[in-house]
Amino acid sequence: MKVQTIMADLERKHPGENEYLQAVREVLESIEEVYNIHPEFEKAKIVERMVEPDRIFTFRVTWVDDRGEIQTNLGYRIQFNSAIGPYKGGIRFHKAVNPSMLKFLGFEQTFKNALTTLPMGGAKGGSDFDPVGKSDAEIMRFCQAFMWELWNNIGPDTDVPAGDVGVGGREIGYMYGMYKKLAREYNTGVLTGKGMTWGGSLIRPEATGFGALYFVEHMLAKAGKSIKGATVAISGFGNVAWGAATKATELGAKVIAISGPDGVVYNPEGMNKEKLDYMLVLRASNQNVVAPFAEKFPDATFIPAKKAWSIKCDIALPCAFQNELNGDDAAELLANGTWCAAEVSNMGCTPEAIAAFQNAGILFAPGKAVNAGGVATSGLEMTQNAMHISWSAAEVDQKLHYIMESIHAACVKYGTQEDGYINYVKGANIAGFMKVAQAMLEQGIV
Query: Under the criterion CB under 6 A, does residue 127 sit at the interface with ligand 2IT?
Result: no
In this structure, the number of other CB atoms found within 10 A of the CB of residue 326 comes to 17
Give least dist CB 433 to ligand 2IT, A.
17
Q: CA-to-CA distance for 181 and 174, rounded, in angstroms?
A: 11
| Nearer of residues 88 and 218 to ligand 2IT, judged by Cβ | 88
In the set 88, 112, 124, 247, the catalytic residue is 124
Give least dist CB 281 to ligand 2IT, A.
22
Give least dist CB 122 to ligand 2IT, A.
10
- 71 to 100: interface string for ligand 2IT, x by CB under 6 A: -----------------xxx----------
Q: In whole angstroms, how far apart are CA 395 and each of 65, 380, 389, 402, 403?
A: 43, 10, 12, 11, 13
Query: Under the criterion CB under 6 A, does residue 192 sit at the interface with ligand 2IT?
Result: yes
Contact criterion met (CB below 8 Å) for 397 and 204: no
Query: Under the criterion CB under 6 A, does residue 366 sit at the interface with ligand 2IT?
Result: no
Give least dist CB 6 to ligand 2IT, A.
25
| Nearer of residues 89 and 263 to ligand 2IT, judged by Cβ | 89
Query: Under the criterion CB under 6 A, does residue 290 sit at the interface with ligand 2IT?
Result: no
Give the CB-nearest residue to ligand 2IT: 90
For this structure, is 124 an active site residue?
yes
**Contacts for 2-7 with beta carbons within 8 Å, 24 or more apart?**
3/28, 3/29, 3/32, 6/47, 6/48, 6/51
Q: Which residues are CB-neighbours of 343 under 8 A, at least 6 positions away?
A: 318, 349, 365, 366, 367, 370, 371
Query: Under the criterion CB under 6 A, does residue 164 sit at the interface with ligand 2IT?
Result: yes
- 371 to 400: interface string for ligand 2IT, x by CB under 6 A: ---xx--x----------------------
User: Among residues 399, 421, 403, which one has the least CA distance to residue 412?
Assistant: 421
The helix/strand/coil state of 67 is: coil
Give the total residue count for the chain: 446
Q: CA-to-CA distance for 265 and 16, rounded, in angstroms?
A: 34
- 33 to 52: interface string for ligand 2IT, x by CB under 6 A: --------------------
Q: CA-to-CA distance for 129 and 74, rounded, in angstroms?
A: 8
Count, residues near ligand 2IT per rule CB under 6 A: 12
| Nearer of residues 75 and 374 to ligand 2IT, judged by Cβ | 374
Q: CA-to-CA distance for 272 and 12, rounded, in angstroms?
A: 51
Where on the chain is the footprint of ligand 2IT (CB under 6 A)? 88-90, 109, 112, 162, 164, 192, 346, 374-375, 378
Give the active site residues.
Answer: 124
